[in-house]
Amino acid sequence: MQAFMDGFKPAEGGPHSDVPWWMRYAGKGAGVVGGGLAVFFGLSAAVSINPFCIVAGLWEIVAGILVISIEAPFCCVFLDFVQKFSTFMDVRPLWQKAAVYLGLSFPGILLCTSFSSIVASVAIFVCAVLFGMQFLGKKGNQADMAAMAQQDETGMNAADDSAILDKDQYGQMQYP
């Protein structure tokens, strides 16, 4: 049972060790749920009369299965190459994973704008957004943000005593 659950566990250490544990699980969970929704709604889009919606539905089914195989390789234990492919994708930088998911999300919605196609594409897009947020990382602390807000038009930090300039009543800079 432990080997079964290790397939879902995000990698400890490695290139993404600075990402909080809950964000790694959120990305994996969004990938699994988003992939499942993409398969389900891709199936409903493929059962259509419009040939573009059929192609979009098939694209979303394939994209959903691909996302599930990357994020939860234990769901595809019967395929030998899935574990290798999942490991390959896990060691890639997060922005590359986000770009792959972003690329997988757009063709379905561009081909067919039905409700099921939109839901399937948005489900994968949410996963791309979560991995993009992981790549961007944590914002700065309050002191750094306050220092950035204190910068004036000259680009110098207001905390620097030598760079303090006064403004006259019209907002023009007065040089000492």
Which pLDDT value is given to residue 154?
Answer: 46
Q: The dihedral of CA 133, 85, 123, 100: what is its sign?
A: positive
pLDDT tens across the length of the chain (176 residues) = 555 455 545 555 445 567 777 878 888 888 899 999 999 999 999 898 999 999 999 999 999 999 998 888 887 777 778 888 888 888 888 889 899 999 999 999 999 989 999 999 999 999 999 888 888 877 667 777 777 777 744 455 544 444 445 555 555 555 55
| Token pair belonging to 143 | 């002191």
- Kindly state the DSSP code that residue 78 receives in the 8-state scheme: T
Comparing CA positions, the residue from 19, 2, 69 lying closest to residue 11 is 19
Torsion of CA 10, 12, 15, 17, to 10 degrees: 100
What is the Cα–Cα distance from 26 to 106, expressed in whole angstroms?
22
pTM for this entry:
0.70
What is the Cα–Cα distance from 90 to 69, expressed in whole angstroms?
11
Q: How many helices (H) and strands (E) does the chain have?
A: 7, 2
Comparing CA positions, the residue from 112, 123, 122 lying closest to residue 49 is 112
